[in-house]
Structure 1
Amino acid sequence: MTTPITDPPTQSALERLSKAGQPQTLRNCDLSALNFSRLDLSGWTFEGCNLSHADFSSTRLERSHFKGCRATGANFPGADLTEATIDGGDFSNSNFRGATLSSANVMRCKMTGTEMTEVRALDLTVHEVLFVMAAISGFSFKKSTLTQIDFSEADLRNCDFRETVFEDCLLQDARLHDCRFEGADLRGANLGGIQISDSKRYKGAIISKQQAADLLSQLGLQVF
């Protein structure tokens, strides 16, 4: 078992540790703007670290654990985060374009403005995440249960929400063009004042009586 590293390692030290093939724990380190690109950091733990503007492009991060990190503006394009965990912290304006997040867990964190297009994410688990103004177009949430997710003003075009269950989620002012909602349960979603003109976007979804009443009230009808 390795001793947690608390002093910020140099770039050369990171490369040596990566080549050693032994998972490391970095705790409360300032790693901002460091270059981790293409290193093998499988199984590494980053706890309470400053990763702002760090570069993880095409980095191997399978089974890695990010706990309570500040990673605003960090770059993960093409990174492999299979079975990784992101628990807490701030990943606002980070870039995960083209990353792999299959069987990963993302929870209790802020991802405002995050770029997540072209992400491969089979069996991804997300809950209590702020995706406000995030770019997540083309993402598949099929058969997922989404709990306390804020998608306000997010770009969700072409997302697949078939058979997805929404629990205490926000979709207010999200871009939902060409999304699929067949079999989705939207009763636990705040749709931000759904309009008749928007209703066709939710074709095949399950909505609550109150949501239905809001729609029919625009036609001058009342539901009792």
Structure 2
Amino acid sequence: MTTLVGFPDHPVRVNAELDAPLSRWLWLVKWILVIPHYVVLFLLWIAFAVVSVIAFFAILFTERYPRALFDFNLGVLRWSWRVAYYSYGALATDRYPPFSLRAEPDYPARLDIAYPERLSRGLVLVKWWLLAVPHLIVVGFFLGGYHLGWWSGGLVALLTVIAGMTMAFTEKYPKDLFDLILGLNRWVLRVAAYVGLMTDSYPPFRLDMGGTEPADAEELS
């Protein structure tokens, strides 16, 4: 049985705030501005893959994901999410993302994953090649081709460009479009955590839209 530390019912939490005002034209050059992040993230994602393989064997033999390795991979996901939120995964802030693996609670895009004290040895054997496959097909439609700023050529990129063009002409980011883009990214990040062996909680086939994680919204209500 999986034992979680933190928020056991909802192990992956994605929250974000839409910044305002946003520049009408900065989004056109963000692909240049984030190149330094792309370079670092390229190396970090290689390390993420290596750490995931090490974690696979650790879970298989000990039922534990070594905490230091978990924190590193969580940091890579957080860094990637901030870069995506700034650039063409959302275009929802003009605050340049920090070069950091830390939580950075003051940044408008945040990701938290509950640390699992125990993980299933059986599930770790089938997550990559069986259980995650339906989600990976869906996520492939959302993301299209993979690149380090987030992903390109998929639904997320298309909607984000529409948001940028709308801002250029109206100076406003459509709220409904923001909610949809956040829902798509939330789905992607939940799958990333599952494929990264960071949780045994199977991602729901559900589009939870909006900047606030539904679990957090329930707690605040």
Rg larger in 1 or in 2?
Answer: 1
Alignment TM-score > 0.5, same fold: no
Q: Which has the higher strand share?
A: 1
Q: Which has the higher helix share?
A: 2
TM bucket by the smaller chain? under 0.3
Alignment TM-score, normalising by the size of structure 2: 0.19
Q: Which has the higher contact order (CA 8 A, sep 6+)?
A: 2
